[in-house]
């Protein structure tokens, strides 16, 4: 559908929030805690954080929780009785205040969860999620959406995108999907007709830092290069980058057993951890951190565009911000392009 444009008064924003809430939807929105802004279940409009560039964690948790029970089992003489996750029990969720890079992150994530076997649980969660995006009117030194085909007002992935027209202005609402249209239909009074509005001038100016196509081409013959060791010397091998990344999809399956009963749980995993590739034999094909760092970059900027036709990065910059040792991805990708 072509994008329908409406105007939402600044003073109507809380009414829109309340109305969605009243329809029984769970709303996740950026909230401040311990000095960090993260998506949390929010009950009141006034609890939503306003002054922040980006949440520490990505919105992917809504469709791909950090830990989720996928089935219960009971062992007996007759065999193993399995009760799978009840997809009906997954509730309708609205994520309020998604940044364009976060919404765009769901595209590579969905590509991974559907490249072979369709992941019913992930797909159901995403189907039941409505993304209300907010354009960025400011950015920081870690932002690089414009280097990975995104932009601070990008609508890709969002169901509705709101752009504030000036510091204290009203909001331009772009209705992108049927889910977005449903919100408008249920709140016709809050969405006024918008004239011709150029949102571009209200958006943050995110400078282009590198060319991802050039990087992809470079990486095709870059497996053996000393740069991986140079760049990763200070990497301490934690999983902060992957945990906050909107497109990292690796998971581990754990069986939590108590006597004859147990649950099968899907948990996030991290390719930066040495145990990620450790074989039962004790052999580890990615023995060194440099090999793990190379994997992270190659996966996102070479393997994914090659196999899934989508880059595994939306330029949100979370990995750089969360890194305890300042592994700056813009700096590293730029160095790779220039190498």
Partner 1 sequence: MDELKKRAKELLETGAVKVVIGYEQGTGNKTRAAFIQKPEEVSRLIFDSRCVLNLAVYLNKPEVKQIGKPAIVAPIPVLRAIIQLASENQFTDDNLLILGITPESKFVEFNKLADVETYLDQHLIEIEARDKEILEKLDKMSVEERWNFWVEELSPCFKCYACRAACPMCYCHRCTVEMNQPQWISVPSHQLGNIEWHFMRAMHLAGRCVDCNACANACPIAIPLNLLTKKTLEEIKVSFGGYKPTLTGGHIMSTFKPNDKENFIR
- Residue numbers at the binding site for partner 1 (CB under 8 A): 34-36, 38, 56-57, 66-67, 140-142, 229, 232-234, 236-240, 242-244, 252, 254, 256, 265, 267-268, 270, 273, 275, 287-290, 320, 322, 324-326, 328, 331
Instruction: CB nearer to partner 1: give 80 or 233.
Output: 233
The Cα-based distances of 212 to 153, 164, 298, 300, 306 in angstroms read 20, 29, 12, 10, 13
Instruction: CB nearer to partner 1: give 144 or 191.
Output: 144
Instruction: CB nearer to partner 1: give 12 or 289.
Output: 289
Least distance in Å: CB of 110 to partner 1?
21
157, 174 contact by CB (below 8 A): no
Least distance in Å: CB of 141 to partner 1?
5
The phi, psi pair for 200, rounded to 5°, reads -50, -45
Edge to edge, the sheet with strand 36-41 lists: 36-41, 26-33, 93-98, 129-134, 160-164, 171-175, 4-8, 192-193
* Orientation angle between helical segments 289-298 and 329-338, nearest 10 degrees: 80
Least distance in Å: CB of 189 to partner 1?
37
Instruction: CB nearer to partner 1: give 55 or 130.
Output: 55
Least distance in Å: CB of 68 to partner 1?
9
Scan for tokens 């994914």, then name that residue: 304
Least distance in Å: CB of 114 to partner 1?
24
Q: Which two tokens stand for residue 272?
A: 């930066």
Cβ atoms within 10 Å of 45's Cβ, excluding its own: 16
Instruction: CB nearer to partner 1: give 18 or 205.
Output: 205
């Amino acid at each position: 559908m072509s994008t329908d444009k409406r105007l939402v008064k600044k003073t109507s924003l809380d009414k829109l929030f309340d109305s969605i809430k009243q329809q029984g939807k769970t709303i996740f929105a950026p909230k401040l805690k311990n000095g960090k802004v993260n998506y949390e279940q929010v009950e009141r409009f006034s609890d939503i954080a306003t002054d922040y560039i980006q949440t520490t964690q990505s919105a992917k948790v809504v469709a791909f929780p950090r830990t989720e029970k996928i089935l219960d089992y009971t062992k007996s003489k007759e065999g193993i009785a399995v009760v799978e996750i009840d997809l009906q029990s997954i509730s309708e969720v609205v994520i309020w205040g998604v940044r364009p890079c976060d919404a765009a992150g769901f595209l590579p994530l969905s590509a991974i969860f559907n490249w072979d076997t369709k992941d019913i649980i992930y797909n159901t969660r995403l189907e039941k999620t409505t993304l209300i995006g907010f354009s960025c009117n400011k950015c920081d030194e870690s932002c690089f959406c414009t280097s990975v085909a995104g932009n601070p007002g990008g609508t890709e992935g969002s169901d509705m995108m709101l752009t504030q027209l000036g510091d204290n202005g009203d909001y331009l609402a772009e209705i992108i999907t049927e889910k977005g249209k449903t919100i408008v239909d249920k709140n016709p009074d809050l969405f006024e007709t918008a004239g011709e509005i150029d949102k571009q001038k209200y958006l943050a100016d995110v400078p282009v830092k590198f060319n991802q196509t050039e990087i992809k081409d470079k990486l095709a013959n870059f497996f053996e290069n000393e740069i991986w060791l140079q760049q990763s010397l200070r990497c301490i091998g934690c999983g902060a980058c992957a945990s906050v990344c909107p497109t990292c999809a690796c998971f581990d399956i754990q069986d939590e057993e108590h006597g004859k009963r147990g649950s099968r749980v899907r948990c996030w995993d991290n390719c930066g951890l040495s145990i990620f590739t450790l074989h039962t034999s004790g052999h580890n094909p990615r023995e060194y951190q440099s090999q793990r760092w190379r994997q992270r970059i190659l996966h996102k900027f070479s393997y994914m565009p090659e196999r899934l036709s989508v880059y595994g990065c939306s330029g949100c910059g979370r990995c750089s911000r969360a890194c305890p040792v300042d592994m700056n991805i813009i700096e590293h990708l730029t160095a790779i392009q220039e190498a």
